[in-house]
Amino acid sequence: MPSQTSDVIRRHLEKNLKRDAAFYPVRTLTGPRQSGETVLARAAFPRHAYVNLEEMESRQFAREDPKGFLARHAGPTIIDEAQRVPELFSDLQVAVDADPAPVDSS
């Protein structure tokens, strides 16, 4: 059972993530392993698509065809374990620079 303190921290972070979504097309959530980043992201943005780059097929697709991967996940998407494909960030930056408007994050 989560402590009252962790519930308060989670609600505070979730509020900030949602607020920032109105201004930034991409947000990064980092933390130590197993600290709840995925749970927090999915709770804050339940309508977003979700892809996990721990899954070998998704990771391979992102590595071999980063533009195609980003095109497939063009809408609001949570990309979990994105550090597994660091080269993806360059193509993500190019895509965001081409269209920097935040997406609807409701």
What is the rounded distance in angstroms from the CA atom of residue 50 to the CA atom of residue 38? 10
Token pair belonging to 88:
């993806």
Q: Give the predicted TM-score (pTM) of the model.
A: 0.84
The pLDDT mean for the chain works out to 88
Domain ranges of the chain: 4-98
User: Which H helix or E strand runs over 53?
Assistant: none
45-59, pLDDT tens digit by residue? 999 999 999 999 999
Task: Give the torsion sign (CA, 87, 73, 30, 90).
Answer: positive
CB-based contact 18:46 (threshold 8 Å): no
5-47, pLDDT tens digit by residue? 566 567 788 999 999 998 999 999 988 888 889 999 999 999 9
Distances (CA, A) of 16 to 21, 25, 72: 8, 14, 27
**Partners of 49 in the β-ladder:** 77
Cβ neighbours for 96, distance < 8 A, ≥ 6 positions apart = 25, 26
What is the model's pLDDT at position 57? 98
